[in-house]
Chains A and B, each alone.
Chain A
Amino acid sequence: MGRYLLRRLAFLAVSLVLASVVLFVLLRLLPGDPANALTSVGASPEQIAAARHSIGSDRPLPEQFTHWLGQLAGGDLGTSFVSSLPVGPEVTARLNVTVPLTLAAFVLAVLVAVPVGFVAAHKRHTWYGALLSGISQLGMAVPVFWLGMILIAVFALNAGWLPSGGFPQDGWAAPADAVRSLVLPVVTIALVMSASLIRYVRSATLDVLGSDHLRTARALGASFPAAMWRHGLRNASVPVISVLGIELASTLLGAVVVESVYALPGLGSLLATGIAQHDYPVIQGVLFVSTLAVLLIGFAADLVQRIIDPRLRGRLSGGAR
């Protein structure tokens, strides 16, 4: 396991470097000079040249890249072209909204999906097992922003229990308001996420329920809960964990639509603004931080899977292949 950890960490570092190269190159492929964002329409060539010089976009690409890497190594995400403010603190401020939102939604989704998915598989021949499967099927077809609109209409506009959007100006300095403003967004993401998670849990449970080792355990006299606990849970959780990792990572940035519905100042909306303004340092900063998060989540998921399933330990990444 120690050797695996070393190899996996090296893999993590290489992936991060590769990802930053890809990120940098992809962004430079976008048409339009970022200096355009700084100058007004009809600026003279001299003004444009001055703007390009001030942000360094007139220098050769490799030089720009090493400059960026040097900044990153010092923990500096650069300075926004548009607002001239450092990107790092802005990203941190946005993470203060997005991370609690994502984590709370994720935990809630898992708490709903695991028991529901298990019951949907175990009791699949009963009416409520079928009903649970049906509801999750329907849930997978609901656009997340529409669910958000409906929840706002019902719980904010009609009942007036919760704010319809926005985040307190003071952020977490006003904890009660901050929590209240995140309740509906969290529920929105959690409901949509759990709809698809239920399917995965149900499918993994079905595989385990039909497996030989569970039947053998039962034949040897173990009660159903005992057999499930000793043999079922471990086997069912391996595939579910890899899905959980992907879901968590994609929600981190995928929350952009929900952030838009609820007017939350999160990471996704920062990226959306950055893209609209061709603000490279902001786009690069957000994508770099999220790539790091995606890689770390993948790392954690791999590690947990290996602790649960020793058969995977020879493999570098991913579930059993």
Chain B
Amino acid sequence: MTTTDVLDKAPAAAPVRGGRRRSATLLAGCTLTGLIALLALVSLVWLPYATDDTSGGRLAGPGGGHLLGTDKLGRDLFTQLMTGSRIALAAGLGSVLTAALIGVTLGVLAAFAQGWLDDTLAAFLDILIAFPTLLLAMLVVAARSATLGSAVLAIGLAQSAVVARLVRILVKRVLAQDYITAARTSGTSWPRTVAGHVLPNIWPTLVVNLALQFGLAVLAEAGLSYLGLGAPPPNASWGRMLQEAQATFTTAPAGALAPGVLLVLLVVGVNLIADGLRDTLDPATRQRRS
């Protein structure tokens, strides 16, 4: 039992029995995530109002030409929610790709370390992980500027430590297997062994973890935007929409609720996908949990 085992296994789905319920988790997750993705796709070709259309009157309630009402500048809320979905998805995807690229490379390299170097690397990753993503992000934003790119880079960097630690432990476990010894004895080079035997074996656990990181990245980007450190205006990030609507929560609740609801739906969606994938891809958990 290792820390990473816990970290990795913890957000598992409720126990599932048989294939029908297992795919139900995956299906529910795909449906929720798909709805948000659909919103983002449609927003590329059609929007109810132009993003800079302030003709709606300030803080109008739902109805009357505006599905969810307007914000304090008179912009249509639903239009902003639609464009915000693009930012949320881009933040999740970009961060996870960055984290995967750096984390897998570092993790595989670290797995070959022995002795004190091994101990030191493990402890270093532990310390790095204890530092909140948001703080690292604030440093990156201070060094560059508050853009979606900075936010994605920062979140990806912070998450790569988590991925690296997971990969390190998974790879170490695989390297101890007999088939690795067999491959090496038969003359396969290390790079080929890693590509042909190690990566395919850590793949299921890795994918599940990356799906979880996707949800965390979406939340982190929303937090950054809430603090004014994410995508700059006029981009309608859900986090910034919430920040702007905070002062008028009681008078115009729609603006302070709708972006939050969409955030929760998207994150629950990808978490369900992660759970569904875990149960489908990993025979060990499938057996253990049934």
List residues of A whose CB falls within 8 A of some B CB. 11, 15, 19, 26, 29-31, 124-125, 129-130, 133-134, 137-138, 140-146, 149-150, 152-153, 157-158, 196, 199-200, 202-204, 206-207, 210, 238-240, 242-243, 245-246, 249-250, 253-254, 256-257, 260-261, 268, 271-272, 275-276, 278, 290-291, 294-295, 297-298, 316-321
Contact = CB atoms under 8 A, between A and B. Distances in A.
B284 interface: no
B5 A250 contact: no
Given A141-B219, A142-B260, 18 more contacts: A11-B123, A30-B142, A124-B14, A133-B13, A137-B11, A138-B264, A140-B11, A143-B226, A145-B226, A145-B242, A149-B249, A207-B1, A242-B3, A250-B129, A254-B132, A275-B138, A298-B130, A321-B122
A316 B223 contact: no
Given A124-B14, A204-B6, A253-B135, A146 B260 contact: yes
A285 to B, nearest CB: 14
Interface in B111-164: 119, 122-123, 126-127, 129-132, 134-135, 138-139, 141-143
Nearest to B135: A253
B9 interface: yes
A247 B223 CA distance: 18
Most buried by B among A146, A268, A290: A146
Given A153-B256, A298-B127, A239 B5 contact: yes
Given A130-B14, A153-B250, A318-B3, A141 B126 contact: no
Given A145-B242, A204-B6, A317 B123 contact: yes
B227 interface: yes
Contacts of A140: 11, 215, 267, 271
B6 A256 contact: no
Tell me if B's interface is mostly helix, strand, loop or mixed.
helix
A297 B129 CA distance: 13
Contacts of B272: 137
Nearest to B223: A257
Contact of A239 (B6, B139, B264): B6
Nearest to A146: B260
A238 B2 CA distance: 9
A243 B6 contact: yes
Nearest to B269: A141
B10 A19 contact: no
A321 B11 CA distance: 20
Contact of A141 (B135, B215, B256): B215
Interface residues of B, number: 53
B188 interface: no
B256 to A, nearest CB: 6
Contacts of B268: 137-138, 141
B100 interface: no
B56 interface: no
A149 B261 CA distance: 13
B288 interface: yes
A124 B10 contact: no
Contacts of B12: 199, 203
A115 to B, nearest CB: 17
